[in-house]
Structure 1
């Protein structure tokens, strides 16, 4: 009898052949076991294997769906901040992206590393702003962004906790409040997607998310930390490679000859 990997390969071939539409759930486990003439457990393991590979994603009781192919081109983040009539943005390839769903604002406890970046105590409350974004025609988001702001600053500038923060968003409000420009520093990492990210981004448990942690400063004061998560297979990070003085050209030994 066929093993689950063989069944997974057959399901993958049927997906590539267009056997099932991407907007409807694939057949249930009982139908799959009959189709491929295997035990129910084998069919279930095959499906879970394809979920872990990112070929399929689960929507709970709604069923299991085929993950749409990655959009082309992949959005490449660089090390530049841009601005248009709506305000600052950080992904040139995502300039026309829009919010998907309803953003939220709540007071809560941030992750320990965010608390440290904000210089607030472990367990202290901060303002948490969540939003999801994607291309104009997207049905689900491709990025999840969460901003964390210290409560003393929100007390001085209550608009930071409002549903609508006005033209330019919180960054324009912060620069107006301090009458100074924001500087940003980003750290890029990756990790397995959590349950919420898997559901929102339509990715399987086996796929990682690219995590961009952006620290916003005015002078030496950290005024916000933003953590943006995105499917790691749909984004890239691109930047010019600069020569340090130790790597200058012509090389020192050649200049002395």
Structure 2
């Protein structure tokens, strides 16, 4: 009798062979159990296993779908900020990405670590701006971005809480307000995707999200914390490795010979 992992391997082979089209649900559990001649529970476990691996994703009552292949090339984030006629952007390979769905703005309490980075008291309200983005042809987002802004700054600059912030977005408005350039610092980590991220990014529970936390400052003042999440199998971080003075070439011993 076939175990669920063996059935999962057979389903994977059929997916890779193009038996079912991407964008349409695969057959239901009852049809799969008949196709692979296994118990219903075995077929269901096999499908859930492939969802957790990221090959498939579930949309509840709509069914289970084949996850589209990763973009080529995988989007790489480097250590530069860029600018075009629309404003600043941080992923050079994602320059033409657009917003998907309706962005939201609300006043709420940020995560404790975000509050600390932003320099506000734990439990203090901030302005929270959420948006989702993806390639022009995408039906669902590949990145989820949340910006947190301190309320005193929003009080001085109400446009930061508006649905439309004008050309260049919040960064141009902040630089105009202070008459100074923003500097950015990013940290990159990974964690399991939460339920909302799994649903929006169409990934299984077994796939982690890459989390880029960017702190925006004018001088020493933190003016925004942005937390961008993306499926870790579709993005990478790329940067040039430079030599510290301790690693200079020629090495000291060789230079003295």
Q: Does 1:17 align with 2:10?
A: no
Q: Output the CA distance in 2 between the equivalents of 1:23 and 1:79.
A: 35
Uncovered stretches (5+) of structure 2, i.e. residues with no partner: none
Corresponding residue SS for 1:188: strand
Q: Output the CA distance in 1 between the equivalents of 2:191 and 2:230.
A: 11
Q: Does 1:154 align with 2:160?
A: no
Aligned to 2:253: 253
Aligned residue runs from structure 1 range 161-240, under 5 A? 161-240=161-240
Aligned residue runs from structure 1 range 101-116, under 5 A? 101-116=101-116
Q: Does 1:120 align with 2:120?
A: yes
Q: What whole-Å deviation, never above 9, does each CA across 1:162-187 have from its counterpart, x for those lacking one? A: 00000000000000000000000000
Q: Output the CA distance in 1 between the equivalents of 2:14 and 2:137.
A: 27
Deviation for aligned residue 1:119? 1.2
Q: Output the CA distance in 1 between the equivalents of 2:14 and 2:186.
A: 42
Q: What whole-Å deviation, never above 9, does each CA across 1:95-145 have from its counterpart, x for those lacking one? A: 011000000000011111001101111111100000000011111111000
Q: What whole-Å deviation, never above 9, does each CA across 1:153-212 have from its counterpart, x for those lacking one? A: 101100000000000000000000000000000000011111111111111110011110
Q: Output the CA distance in 2 between the equivalents of 1:52 and 1:100.
A: 25
Aligned to 1:75: 75
Corresponding residue SS for 1:165: coil
Q: What whole-Å deviation, never above 9, does each CA across 1:229-253 have from its counterpart, x for those lacking one? A: 1111111111000100000000001
Aligned to 2:100: 100
Q: Does 1:53 align with 2:48?
A: no
Deviation for aligned residue 1:19? 1.0
Corresponding residue SS for 2:33: helix
Q: Output the CA distance in 1 between the equivalents of 2:91 and 2:69.
A: 21
Deviation for aligned residue 1:61? 1.1
Corresponding residue SS for 1:199: helix
Q: Output the CA distance in 2 between the equivalents of 1:13 and 1:83.
A: 43
Q: Output the CA distance in 1 between the equivalents of 2:201 and 2:80.
A: 25
Q: What whole-Å deviation, never above 9, does each CA across 1:44-91 have from its counterpart, x for those lacking one? A: 110011011100001111111000111101111100001111000001
Uncovered stretches (5+) of structure 1, i.e. residues with no partner: none
Corresponding residue SS for 2:110: coil
Q: Output the CA distance in 1 between the equivalents of 2:219 and 2:132.
A: 29
Q: Does 1:4 align with 2:4?
A: yes
RMSD, matched Cα: 0.6
Q: Structure 2 length as normaliser, TM-score?
A: 0.99
Q: Output the CA distance in 1 between the equivalents of 2:168 and 2:71.
A: 28
Corresponding residue SS for 1:176: helix
